[in-house]
């Protein structure tokens, strides 16, 4: 039989598992919201951010009202917060995303766990979840603060390194494939020549621009709602708490957080998160394009474009022996689709602020942080299991290049657009070379054609 202890809150007594650190309010939520249990729990990035937040609040409260937040309380709360930050207490955060829209229950889960752990460390009943751990705070300003902390930390520490990793690989591929000219393609049709390194540079530049756009969103995410308390007025928070606690969060995380200039906005609007997730969606769109390019170029091995080789990581079919599929590309495109769907959820949720609060914050946090996590992890996977092993099929590129009718564009300056079009049509209809068609039509002599027709030069000086 499972052992319980009795906890109480303003509504009465509650049985709580004896081996858990949470209290009555957490247990009520745990029992009342049996939605996505074990699968869609509050993101651990939020739990960690709450650890930073609660430690920062204890440090700030000790400076501003030491008679309430004594050095003993501050030190034991800080130690408990360090364990929350490290993930050592993760099993004590069981609540699902599908709870109150303000995240109150997750805030109280954090308060109860930290208070109970602080009391264990102190060896006595020292800290109260509401009076001490939640001092000068409200769920209404702590949850949006935790969201901003988590979003900033995950973007800077997880997503940016993943972007840099793939950008670095593309730079190496550009250098390795310098001078290899292939057929360009627009509208999925043959186009004028391009070098393979130029094509790769487009992929690389897209990721660099995505990082720039994400970076431009960070100053807004680094504005914290903490200090606004229940409705933005700062009720029950000491003067200067908002500025000081933002400074403490910055010191703990190594990020330059500041207090939000208008707390009424910070509690009720999620526009900063919408803006940042728009940049995540832009990254997803570019990854979709890159993955599609790679799998189209690698299609075959005999009946597709076959212009590049990609690593063969696992069998691709349960019925066709020897088949190998572009699985890393497929994983990346599926992540892109998920992120685009998440963007809809984040946008709709952010539009639902009423008066002094938005009550869709857990679902915003869940989708936003999932997007960051998936994008970072899929880029690392794609890089390590596909991009680093991309090689050019030079022979196929050369064949496709010289088989392209769009090379006729090089003749425009010499025979004009309309005559060049006639040359292309004749070559296609009779399945002959552009040179033979041009000579048959009397537009150029064979010698003049050879003099002006140089496909490799059509890609430009930087090929």
Q: Catalytic residues, which ones?
A: 187, 317
User: Phi and psi dihedrals of 60, rounded to 5?
Assistant: -70, -45
- Please give the structure tokens belonging to residue 420: 């060049």
User: Could you tell me which of 396, 370, 391, 381 has the C-alpha nearest to residue 327?
Assistant: 381
SS3 at position 96: strand
SS3 at position 165: helix
Query: In whole angstroms, what is the distance from residue 69 CA to residue 60 CA?
Result: 9
- Please give the structure tokens belonging to residue 59: 């440090």
Long-range contacts of the stretch 295-303 (C-beta < 8 A, 24+): 295/326, 295/329, 295/330, 298/326
Classify burial at 279, counting beta carbons within 10 Å of its beta carbon; exposed 0-12, middle 13-18, buried 19 or more.
Answer: buried
Ramachandran quadrant class, 232 (left: phi over 0; alpha: psi -120 to 50; beta: rest): left
C-alpha pair distances (Å), 68 with each of 21, 135, 235, 351: 23, 9, 16, 39
Query: In whole angstroms, what is the distance from residue 18 CA to residue 20 CA?
Result: 6
- Please give the structure tokens belonging to residue 293: 């390019």
Give the helix ranges, DSSP H, for 21-159: 24-32, 44-64, 71-86, 104-122, 139-154
SS3 at position 127: coil
Classify burial at 398, counting beta carbons within 10 Å of its beta carbon; exposed 0-12, middle 13-18, buried 19 or more.
Answer: middle
> Are residues 365 and 150 in contact, defined by beta-carbon separation less than 8 angstroms?
yes
**DSSP 3-state percent helix, strand, coil across the chain (nearest 5):** 60, 10, 30
Q: Name 1's Cβ contacts closer than 8 Å, sequence gap at least 6.
A: none
**CA angle, 204 as apex, 199 and 208 as ends, to 5°?**
145
**CA angle, 115 as apex, 146 and 106 as ends, to 5°?**
35
Residue with tokens 């807004």: 220
């Amino acid at each position: 039989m499972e052992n319980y202890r009795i906890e109480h809150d303003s509504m009465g007594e509650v049985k709580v598992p004896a081996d858990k650190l949470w209290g009555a309010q957490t247990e009520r939520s745990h029992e009342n919201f049996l939605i996505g249990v074990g699968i869609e729990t509050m993101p651990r990035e939020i739990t960690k951010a709450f650890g930073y937040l609660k430690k920062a609040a204890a440090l700030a409260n000790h400076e501003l009202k030491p008679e309430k937040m004594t050095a003993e309380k501050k030190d034991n709360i800080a130690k408990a917060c360090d364990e929350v930050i490290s993930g050592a207490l993760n099993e004590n955060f069981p609540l699902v995303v599908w709870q109150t829209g303000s995240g109150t229950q997750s805030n109280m889960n954090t308060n109860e766990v930290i208070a109970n752990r602080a009391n264990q460390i102190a060896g006595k009943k020292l800290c109260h979840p509401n009076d001490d751990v939640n001092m000068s705070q409200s769920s209404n300003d702590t949850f949006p603060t935790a969201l901003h902390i988590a979003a900033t930390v995950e973007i800077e520490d997880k997503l940016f390194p993943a972007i840099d990793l793939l950008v670095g690989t593309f730079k190496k591929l550009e250098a390795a494939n310098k001078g290899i000219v292939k057929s360009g393609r627009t509208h999925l049709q043959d186009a004028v020549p391009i070098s393979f390194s130029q094509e790769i540079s487009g992929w690389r530049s897209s990721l660099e621009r995505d990082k720039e756009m994400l970076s431009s969103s960070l100053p807004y995410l680094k504005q914290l709602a903490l200090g606004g308390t229940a409705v933005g007025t700062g009720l029950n928070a000491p003067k200067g708490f908002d500025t000081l606690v933002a400074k403490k969060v910055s010191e703990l995380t190594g990020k330059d957080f500041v207090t939000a200039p208008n707390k009424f906005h910070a509690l009720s609007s999620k526009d900063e998160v919408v803006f940042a997730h728009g940049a995540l969606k832009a990254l997803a769109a570019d990854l979709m394009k890159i993955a599609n390019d790679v799998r189209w170029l690698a299609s075959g091995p005999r009946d597709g474009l076959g212009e590049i080789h990609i690593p063969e990581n696992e069998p691709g079919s349960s019925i066709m022996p020897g088949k190998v599929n572009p699985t890393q590309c497929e994983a990346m495109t599926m992540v892109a689709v998920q992120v685009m769907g998440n963007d809809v959820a984040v946008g709709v949720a952010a539009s639902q602020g009423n008066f002094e609060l938005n009550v869709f914050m857990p679902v915003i946090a869940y989708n936003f942080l999932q997007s960051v996590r998936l994008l970072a992890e899929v880029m690392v996977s794609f890089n390590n299991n596909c991009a680093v092993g991309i090689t050019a099929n030079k022979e196929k590129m050369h064949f496709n290049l010289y088989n392209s009718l769009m090379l006729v564009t090089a003749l425009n300056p010499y025979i004009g657009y309309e005559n060049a079009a006639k040359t292309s049509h004749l070559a296609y209809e009779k399945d002959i070379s552009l040179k033979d068609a041009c000579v048959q039509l009397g537009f150029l002599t064979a010698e003049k054609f050879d003099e002006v027709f140089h496909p490799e030069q059509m890609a430009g000086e930087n090929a």
